[in-house]
């Protein structure tokens, strides 16, 4: 019994101390006021004055501030917009690839799968960096387009939202492909044949059978892209411009540049609240899929 207790206690306490407690702290600081001190916020918890005196100094001032300064809600909205659009773009690129992989001859599939996963193992930062050289004004894309004569003036892509979309699609593509591929590979070929036998053309069989049956994979892939993109920092900071507003970037700047910890914490708390809905939906989708498999 003792052994079982230790087995549970060690990882449990670790997560409590290093995951849950920090959150409580973030929440607490989000209710504090900024101060020119180290650490730069008040109040500090003090055993002498007691818990009520401490609590009475906490307020929602920072959250009120977030609603007043339009930078913040614009950043939230623009994060949602960028995450939604880039999820859709990733789906448009990822679905045909996943479909083709699932229809490829059996002996190729393991290799194709590895080719999709391989970039995932290489540094995220490097993959984003690779696009900086391609998208800049004198970058390869512009050079190529000028050489083919499609354009006469170099396009400004780097430091715009377009570059951010490209970067997100590129780095998150494996997350979209893998769940869709898993769903499509399970799909019984005879279902498509049955649909054709019952009068479907190729295309309508795809719409009426393939798409609905890969729905859980599509939903899983979309959430796997949408959720992390919402809090993304590296891509907007390297590929985006000064007008690319994303909440991860705002939080970072609030913390490192402005050193306004209470506001940064409030930004984090709101972002978390924003994420709860897609996370719960994602969880539901996964559960439904598991039940369907049983």
Partner 1 sequence: MKRMSWFNTVSLTLGFAFLYVPMLILVIYSFNESKLVTVWAGFSTKWYGELMQNEAFLSAAWVTIKVAVISSTIATVLGTMAAYVLVRGGRFMGRTLFSGMIYAPLVMPEVITGLSLLLLFIGIGLDRGVLTIVLAHTTFSMCYVSVVVSSRLVTFDRSLEEAALDLGCSPSEAFRLVTLPIIAPAVISGWLLAFTLSLDDLVIASFTSGPAATTLPIKIYSAVRLGVSPEINALSTLMIAIVTIGVLTASLVNKRQIVRQQREEKEAGRN
Partner 2 sequence: MIQFQNVTKRFGDFTAIDDLTIGIYEKEFFALLGPSGCGKTTMMRMLAGFETPTEGSIYLAGQDMAPVPPNKRATNMMFQSYALFPHLSIWENIAFGLKREGMAKPQISDRVNEMLRLTRLEKFASRKPHQISGGQRQRVALARSLAKKPKLLLLDEPLGALDKKLRQDTQFELMDIQEKTGTTFVIVTHDQEEAMTVASRVAVMDNGRIIQVATPDRIYETPNSVYVADFIGEVNIIDGIATPNGEESYSVAWKDGQAPLNVKSPSSFSDGQSCHLAIRPEKVTINAEKPTGADNVVEGKILDIAYLGNLSTYHVELPSGAVIKAQSANTRRISRRAFTWEDTVWLSWTATAGVLLAA
Considering only residues 58 through 97, tell me which ones interact with partner 1, judged by CB under 8 A. 93, 96-97
Give the Cα separation of 90 and 166 in Å (integer): 9
Choose which of 59, 193, 258, 259 interacts with partner 2 (CB under 8 A): 193
Closest CB to partner 1 among 161 and 175?
175
**Binding to partner 2 by residue 292, rule CB under 8 A?**
yes
Name the residue nearer to partner 1 (CB basis): 127 or 215. Answer: 127
CB of 207 to partner 1, least distance (A): 15
CB of 288 to partner 2, least distance (A): 12
Residue 83 DSSP SS3: helix
Q: Report 214-233 residues binding partner 2 (CB under 8 A).
A: 215
Of the two residues 160 and 237, which places its CB atom closer to partner 1 in the complex? 237
Please say whether the beta carbons of 169 and 90 come within 8 A: yes
Q: Which stretch binds partner 2 (CB under 8 A): 74-82, 97-105, 126-134, 205-213?
A: 205-213
Query: Residue 34: phi, psi to the nearest 5?
Result: -75, 145
Q: Per the structure block, which two tokens stand in for 261?
A: 């910890």
Burial class (CB in 10 A: 0-12, 13-18, 19+), 202: exposed
Q: Which two tokens stand for residue 22?
A: 């920090």
Per CB under 8 A, does 51 bind partner 1? no
CA distance 205 to 203: 5
Binding mask 8-47 for partner 1 (x = CB under 8 A): x-xxx-xxx-xxxxxx-xx--x---------x--------
Residue nearer to partner 2 on the CB measure, 164 or 183: 183
Q: Is 85 a residue that touches partner 2 (CB under 8 A)?
A: no
Burial class (CB in 10 A: 0-12, 13-18, 19+), 232: buried
One of 6, 106, 152, 190 touching partner 2 (CB under 8 A): 190
> In Å, what is the CA distance from 225 to each residue of 43, 88, 139, 159, 186?
38, 9, 27, 21, 22
Tell whether residue 238 is a contact of partner 2 (CB under 8 A).
no
Q: Does 196 bind partner 2 (CB under 8 A)?
A: yes
Element (H, E) at 258: none
Chain centre to alpha carbon of residue 271: 12
Do the Cβ atoms of 54 and 46 come closer than 8 Å? Answer: yes
- Total of residues contacting partner 1 (CB under 8 A): 79
Would you tell me which residues interact with partner 2 (CB under 8 A)? 188, 190-191, 193-201, 204, 208-209, 212-213, 215, 292
């Amino acid at each position: 019994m003792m052994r079982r207790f230790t087995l549970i206690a060690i990882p449990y306490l670790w997560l409590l101390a290093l995951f849950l407690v920090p959150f409580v702290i973030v929440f607490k600081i989000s209710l504090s006021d900024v101060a020119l001190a180290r650490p730069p916020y008040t109040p500090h918890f003090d055993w002498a004055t007691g818990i009520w005196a401490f609590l009475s100094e906490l307020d929602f001032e920072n959250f009120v501030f977030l609603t007043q300064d339009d930078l913040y809600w614009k950043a939230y909205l623009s994060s949602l917009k960028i995450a939604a659009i880039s999820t859709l773009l990733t789906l448009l690129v990822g679905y045909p690839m996943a479909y083709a992989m699932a229809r490829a001859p059996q002996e190729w599939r393991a290799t194709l799968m590895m080719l999709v996963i391989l970039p995932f193992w290489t540094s995220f930062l490097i993959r984003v960096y690779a696009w900086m050289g391609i998208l800049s004004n004198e970058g390869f894309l512009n050079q190529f387009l000028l050489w083919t004569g499609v354009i006469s003036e170099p396009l400004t892509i780097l430091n715009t939202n377009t570059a951010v979309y490209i970067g997100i699609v590129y780095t998150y593509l494996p997350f979209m492909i893998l769940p869709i591929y898993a769903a499509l590979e399970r799909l019984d070929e005879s279902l498509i044949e049955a649909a054709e036998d019952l009068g479907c053309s190729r295309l309508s069989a795809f719409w009426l059978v393939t798409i609905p049956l890969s729905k859980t994979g599509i939903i899983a892939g979309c959430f796997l892209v949408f959720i992390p993109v919402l809090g993304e920092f590296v891509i907007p900071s390297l590929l985006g411009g000064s007008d690319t507003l994303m909440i991860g970037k705002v939080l970072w700047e609030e913390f490192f540049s402005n050193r306004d910890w209470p506001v940064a914490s409030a930004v984090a708390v709101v972002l978390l609240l924003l994420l709860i809905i897609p996370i719960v939906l994602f969880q539901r989708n996964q559960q439904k899929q598991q039940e369907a498999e049983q």
